[in-house]
Homo-oligomer: A and B are copies of this chain.
C-alpha cells in the first residue's frame, strides 16, 4: 500500500476527527489543508517557505502539467517532487475539473473527453487510462480517478448519466493503475441529488479505494446545500479511510466540513485572493489594497504571528501591491496560507482536547466580514 491512514481522535459532539495519513513522502496530520501548486509551484512561494508554514502536502494540477511542461518532461526530471524541489507529499487531481471548466470546445464520450488547450488551442483527448498514465508520470503520492465534475445547477437526467459514467471511469482508472507508490482515490459525484450521491458512494466503496473524495461541491451552490450534501454523503464513506472535500478552503466551510467528518481540503482561493490584496483575519476578510490602510502601520492581523504579520505593516503591503511589487503578493500569500494552516492546527488540537464544537461556534460567531 502506498498510503495508510489511522484515526487517532474523535469529537464527541460532531463528526470531526483527527488522523495521520502516512505517505511515501512523510506523514500528514488531518484534518489538513493542501496549498495548491497548479503549475508545479504554489504561486509566489518557495518550498522552504511552505515547510516553515507547516505544509505537509500540496496539490498540483494534472491538466496544467500535462499541457506545460508535459508529464513526459517531468518524468524525465525524476517526477514532480524532484522537478519542483518538494520532498513532502503531493496529491494530483485527475485533470477532469479543469477540462470540464473550460470554455473551449469539448466533447464527452464514453471513451473520454476531447478538449482544446487554453495555451495554444491544440486539441487533446484524455481518457481514464490517459489520466492515470499522466499521473503516473508525475509521480504524486496520491492521485485521483478521472471524473466529470457536474455543474450547478444540473438536470437530474444529466446528473444521473454523468454520475454513472464517472463510476465506470473510476473502474477503468483502477484497472489502469499499477504503481505501488501511488494511492488512487475515488471521487463521489451525484450533483445535489441525494439518491445519486448514494448510488455513487455505494458503487465506489464497492471498488475499495484507499481514500475517497467528495467532488462536485463548492461549484456555485448555496453553502447550506453543500453542507446538506455532506450530511448525507460522508456517512456513506468508510470510517477508516481519508475523506477529501475537493475545492473548499474558506475558514467557515472548513469548520463546517470538518464537523461533518472531512479530513482533507484544497482550494486556490486563499492564494488567489492574496494576490488580489485580500487577506484572512480572525474577524473575516480584509482588503489591504483599500485606501483606508494607506497609513495603517499595524500588521494584517494583529492576532497572527506569521512572518508577514511579525515584520510588515498594512501600509507597506498596500504600497507594494499598488506599486505592482512581487513582494506584496508573497507577503499576502504567506499570511493567508499561514492563517489557514494555523487554523487546521487549532482545529486538530481542539478535536483532541474535546473542545472542537465550542471552538467552531466561537470562531464562526466572531466572523464579521465573510
Residues in A lying within 8 Å of B, measured CB to CB: 39-41, 43-46, 64, 68-69, 73, 76-77, 83-85, 294-295, 297, 311-313, 315-316, 318-320, 322-323, 325-327, 329-330
Question: Given contacts A85-B311, A311-B85, A316-B84, are A39 and B76 in contact (CB under 8 A)?
Answer: no
What is the bound-complex CA distance between A320 and B64, given in angstroms?
Answer: 12
Chain B: minimal CB distance from A339 (Å): 18
Chain B: minimal CB distance from A237 (Å): 35
Partner of A68, one of B43, B316, B322, B326: B322
Q: Are A319 and B43 in contact (CB under 8 A)?
A: no
Q: Are A327 and B73 in contact (CB under 8 A)?
A: no
Please name the 3 residue pairs, one residue from A and one from B, whose CB atoms are nearest each other, closest first: A69-B319, A41-B327, A39-B323
Q: Which residues of B contact A83 (CB under 8 A)?
A: 313, 315-316
Q: Are A39 and B69 in contact (CB under 8 A)?
A: no
Question: Given contacts A69-B315, A77-B313, A316-B84, are A326 and B43 in contact (CB under 8 A)?
Answer: yes
Q: 23 A-B Cβ contacts within 8 A?
A: A39-B320, A39-B323, A40-B319, A40-B320, A41-B325, A44-B326, A44-B327, A46-B327, A46-B330, A64-B323, A68-B322, A69-B294, A69-B315, A69-B318, A73-B295, A73-B315, A77-B316, A83-B313, A83-B316, A84-B316, A85-B311, A326-B329, A326-B330
In the complex, which residue of chain B has the Cβ closest to the Cβ of A68? B323
Q: Are B312 and A85 in contact (CB under 8 A)?
A: yes
What is the bound-complex CA distance between A39 and B77, given in angstroms?
Answer: 37
Query: Copies of this chain, how many?
Result: 2
Residue from A294, A297, A326 having most chain B Cβ neighbours under 10 A: A326
Q: Which residues of B contact A39 (CB under 8 A)?
A: 319-320, 323, 325
What is the bound-complex CA distance between A68 and B325, given in angstroms?
Answer: 12
Q: Are A325 and B43 in contact (CB under 8 A)?
A: yes
